Amino acid sequence: MNTNAHEWVTERFAELKIDALLVSALPNIRYLSGFTGSNALLLVTPGGNTLFTDPRYTLQAAGETFDCAVKTARGPLMAAAAQLIARRRLKRIGFERGRLLFDLWQRLKDALPLGASLKALGPLIEELRMVKTPEEIARIRAAVMANSLAFEAVLPGIRPGVTESEIAAELEYQMRRHGAEKPSFDTIVASGPRSAMVHAQPGAEPVGTNQLLLIDMGATRNGYVSDMTRTLFLGRPGRKISKMYDAVLMAQLAGIAAVREGVTADAVDRATRRVLRAEGFDKAFVHSTGHGLGLEIHEPPRLGKKDKTRLRAGMAITIEPGVYVEGLGGIRIEDTVVVTASGCEVLTPTTKEFITL
């Protein structure tokens, strides 16, 4: 949520050559208006914002929205939006090309008055959302706390014989106990060779001894998310696994050390990759170093090879290098951090020592 957003957006209308912006992505609508319901459109014009929703949300919209007029439509929201566009004689309507279903685009196009046209826009609101307000950072911090407290609460119960699904269920339960409204994504718990799958689904098999156990979890609290990965070992790790863990940890710390306002996203990615290359694991690092997060679990910037976005103070990002070896397993270490002028603040308080159980 950002109460200064309206001005920032409408100031860009001239260069974008639009008279209005129809926002269809729910997280963007929430950011601009506070509305958290599941069915909405937001028409942004220089004169003000109008939120369209349906009668299920009349009370909710009245209670939680800011900076917008609310119109409750009985029919399709697109038709209601098109009516207002006609009444206000708005001509050039921007829409979110990555966020509007073709079906709805078609409906909007068909309902537009004569002389009005549509213009496909890139991730405009997402660009604004990259830098968080102090209020948003406070919410992310609270989500991180729920996340880490839940991890701590579940750790003593992890032992050979419990299943990945049971561990995931406990983690999600404890996150709610600690104030989260839900997990921010499906909790990943992967043991042994299955941990080499970056996005493994927890399974019904009991976890064994002398195995890696990778846990990737996040909490949503007041709409904002956290993201954390820790890799544990059940038993006593051998030399190869210990070496792998040290390499990933060194890479993760190098990534954190590289974060600072003004540095580009791809430079942070290079910092983690450089360490893993020196340790001989660069080929086993198959994803990017991290991503922005906030109202959504994956937001720009992407800390990958091609993203030249300059980091700015107030951006919330993850640093999460990993190494994955088929047949053996995967190790990933992930923290949620906030960019500052001189470096970054690591929000995640959970230890990164190699936890062995």
**Residues at the site binding Zn ion, with contacts judged by CB under 5 A:** 216, 227, 229, 318, 334
Q: How far is the CB of 127 from Zn ion (least distance, A)?
A: 20
3-class secondary-structure state, position 308: coil
Tokens found for residue 294: 């906030």
Helices (H), the chain: 5-10, 13-16, 26-33, 58-64, 77-87, 102-111, 124-129, 134-154, 164-177, 239-258, 265-278
Half-sphere exposure of 103 (CA within 13 A, CB side): 2
3-class secondary-structure state, position 187: coil
Closer to Zn ion by CB, 216 or 307: give it.
216
Q: How far is the CB of 118 from Zn ion (least distance, A)?
A: 34
Q: How far is the CB of 231 from Zn ion (least distance, A)?
A: 12
Q: How far is the CB of 92 from Zn ion (least distance, A)?
A: 37
Tokens found for residue 235: 């038993």
Closer to Zn ion by CB, 228 or 328: give it.
228
Q: How far is the CB of 223 from Zn ion (least distance, A)?
A: 18
Q: How far is the CB of 228 from Zn ion (least distance, A)?
A: 6
DSSP letters spanning 269-293: HHHHHHHHHHTT-GGG--S-SEEE-
Sign of CA dihedral 19, 23, 28, 34: positive
Closer to Zn ion by CB, 78 or 145: give it.
145
Closer to Zn ion by CB, 24 or 231: give it.
231
Closer to Zn ion by CB, 223 or 290: give it.
290
Residues 6+ apart with CB under 8 A from 127: 300
Q: Parallel, antiparallel, or unpaired for β 48-53 and 68-72?
A: parallel
Q: How far is the CB of 300 from Zn ion (least distance, A)?
A: 13
Closer to Zn ion by CB, 96 or 227: give it.
227
Query: How many other CB atoms are there within 10 angstroms of residue 270's CB atom?
Result: 16
Closer to Zn ion by CB, 96 or 266: give it.
266
Q: Report the distance separating Cα 18 and Cα 245, nearest Å.
A: 51
